[in-house]
Every structure is written in structure tokens, then in C-alpha cells.
Amino acid sequence: MKDPLIKLENISFSYNSYSVLENINFELNLGEKIGLIGPNGSGKTTLLFIIMGFLKPLSGKIFILGKERKKEKDFLEVRQKLGLLFQDSDSQLFCPTVKEDIAFGPLNLGKNRKEVKEIVEKIASLFNIKHLLERPIYKLSGGEKKVVALATVFAMDPIAYLLDEPSSGLDEEIKKKLIEFLKVYVKTCLIVSHDHEFLKATVEKIYILKNKNIYLY
Ligand SMILES: Nc1ncnc2c1ncn2[C@@H]1O[C@H](COP(=O)(O)OP(=O)(O)O)[C@@H](O)[C@H]1O
Ligand SMILES: [Mg+2]
């Protein structure tokens, strides 16, 4: 049988002495679309950060793409292959303009200038943000930032999408569009959301994170 794309084994995590996750087991297989709900502060963002290697678990094992990931360098490949949408768009966007932010990921993946230009154009027209390309990030509204942040993740064409509250701050029209994108372009994802309707439209299975552990909802 093929390895899961992401496998967490008995993961526990604390911020200093404040325990957030205890003995979490979780798997995401290629082709699977999973939703994750849970009260505010239950540890959903923390869990995504552990998968990306931004936070190190207190104990337990992380396997991604069939390899155990422990050290910082193990996660470099993970960050190229999994696309994380940060809950807070300001954590995602750090270039002077929208165009540069969308280009950053593909450039980092070693694409040449011409390829990157094509990707930026394709993604901008897909997300309907051509008119924003030259705009400095600080001149975007919250909703526009969210769309641009999503565009930067899609521009990397990741194997799987980890989306932290992707629909928050989006108007109904853009939300519908995002649901369509997720249906058409995304094969594998883990979506953290409080928006049950959004999840119903985008994932096959929903888990809940509560009392420091994950349960099928
Ligand atoms: N850097 C941090 N230092 C200390 N506590 C934190 C830190 N980040 C998050 N927390 C706490 O850890 C818990 C889980 O946070 P988080 O993963 O962001 O929850 P969620 O995404 O489910 O709302 C919360 O109680 C939060 O206040
Ligand atoms: Mg969160």
C-alpha cells in the first residue's frame, strides 16, 4: 500500500508548559480532502504549523511523502511541496507588490523568468486580480489580501493544500469561486474552517479538534 502523504504519530505539543495537543494521530492521503473544525484556540493552526515544521512537537513522529521529518532541513522539501495558506494573510505576503508575491514561490522553486511570468498571468486571471498586480500589499483590503494570499499558494502548484480559514473575509462571490477552484484544481487538501457550508461544498470528511485531540465529526 502507498504511504500516506502526511502521517502524524502520537504528536504532542505545548507552548512552554501550556499543553495544546496530546497524542494526535492523523493521516492525509493523496486524493483526500479533509476538513478540520474546532473551537477557537483548540490548536488547529498549531497543527498546521507542526506539519510545515514551523513548530516542533514535544513528542511523536511526522512522516511526509513517506519520510520521517525531524530537522529543519527535512522540512525544506515539505514547504516546497505542501502549500500552506496562513490564517493571517499578513504572514503570507511580504513582497512590495502583489505581482512579486505571486512570483516569489515559483521563482523559489527554480522556474525561469519566462515561466514565472506565465504563471503570474495565469493565476492572476484565474483569481480575477489582474488589476491588483502592481498594487503594493498595504493598499489591499482584507478580502483582497486573502485572495492574493490564496493566489500565491496556487502559484506554487503544491501536491496538497493546507488552508487555514480560507473563506474568512471573502464575499459570497469570491467564496463561490474558491469552492469551484477547490473542486476543479485541488485533489488533496486539509481545510481548517468554521464555515460548515464551505466545508460541505469542498471536503469529503470532517474532523474536529477538541480537548487536545482529533475526532471524526
Ligand atoms: N506563540 C504562542 N505562545 C503561546 N501560546 C500560543 C501561541 N500561539 C498560540 N497559542 C495558544 O495555543 C492555543 C492554540 O492556538 P491555535 O493553534 O492558534 O488555535 P486555533 O487555530 O485552533 O484557534 C491557543 O490557546 C493559543 O492562545
Ligand atoms: Mg487558527
pLDDT for the residue 67: 97
For ligand 1, whether the C-beta of 42 sits within 6 Å is yes
- Domains of the chain: which residue ranges? 6-216
β pairing state of 189-192 and 205-210 = unpaired
For domain 6-216, which CATH number applies: 3.40.605.10, 3.30.500.10, 3.40.50.300, 3.40.50.620? 3.40.50.300
Average pLDDT, rounded, for the chain: 97
Q: Which residues pair with 21 in a beta bridge?
A: 13
Give the nearest ligand 1 atom to 43 CA: 17
Sheet holding 205-210, edge to edge: 82-85, 160-164, 189-192, 33-37, 205-210, 213-216
Closest residue to atom 26 of ligand 1, CA basis: 41
Q: Which three cell numbers stand for residue 85?
A: 495558506
Cα–Cα dist 30/89, whole Å? 26
Residue type, 136: P
pLDDT on residue 1: 53
- pLDDT at site 2: 79
Beta-sheet strand order (sheet of 67-68): 18-28, 6-15, 59-64, 67-68
pLDDT in tens, 60-112: 999 999 999 999 999 999 999 999 999 999 999 999 999 999 999 999 999 99
CA of 160 to the centre of ligand 2 (A): 19
C-alpha closest to that of 35 among 168, 176, 205: 205
pLDDT of residue 27 exceeding 70? yes
